[in-house]
Structure 1
């Protein structure tokens, strides 16, 4: 027979598993969705196409160059009003970002509903470099005469 192992203060017994209710697990993704929907509702109600409602992009104002976010509010306004063509014309990268958010949010919601950790597969540094390169390429191309279709 073996004797039980004595636990030292350095090795306490494992903590019992804590069960978290579904409402508590779903609160973060649902709260995030509520905040995003509130932002889109505001932009949908206050037209960014009318001057004076939102501040002007400082990069555009002082340099005449479009930043990667220029046209993002007009794009969100068009999405709220169901005009995908206008949304893509205002800022195609923003529409891609809205779609990516929707996918990642749905995965988060499903994982939370199943009681799994919120984080799934983590992007590697190469993925972040690719995203940064895509944003930089989008910014450069939309400021060239040949890329005027990407300008807001």
Structure 2
């Protein structure tokens, strides 16, 4: 009985790994071959209504540039996304994946101070990237 449970758990872990890999591959292929500005993906609603850039503006173009190996261009589209949120997301995905494979606790507690810091960073980034003078114009997508 225990042997069947172990086989089931290994099969479940392998399926999770395969699905995670397939999902990551699909996202990579999507951003590798489809340019967000030309693919019919709707524009940022905040930018369309206000004319201002939100902290996420340029994120899809940054993903496209990253998938094509153009790191400087990706940072030019959305530096905050490339330098902070993309690595943070990759770290969280790695911890989650590790938990699924090993069965050990995955994500450590995320301090509320860190969450507020990220929110403040996004707000400051949004303000700075909308200032109409150099060097802040570099932050606009």
Establish whether TM, by shorter chain, passes 0.5: yes
Q: State which of 130, 137, 140 in structure 2 corresponds to 1:148.
A: 137
Q: Given the superposition, is the C-alpha separation of residues 55 and 134 from structure 1 closer, same or farther in structure 2, using an over 3 Å criterion?
A: same
What is the DSSP-based 3-state SS (H/G/I as helix, E as strand, rest coil) of the residue aligned with 2:78?
A: helix
Aligned to 2:42: 55
* Unaligned segments of structure 2, at least 5 residues: none
Alignment size in residue pairs:
133
What residue ranges of structure 1 are gaps of 5+ in the alignment? 1-17
TM-score (norm 1): 0.74
Counterparts of 1:3-152 in structure 2, within 5 Å, are: 21-25=9-13, 27-28=15-16, 30-50=18-38, 53-95=40-82, 96-117=84-105, 119-144=106-131, 145=133, 146-152=135-141
Distance change in 2, residues 1:142/1:107 (3 Å): same
Structure 1 133/25 Cα, relative in aligned 2: closer, same or farther at 3 Å? same
Query: Which moved further from structure 2: 108-117 or 66-75?
Result: 108-117
The normalised TM-score by structure 2 is: 0.79
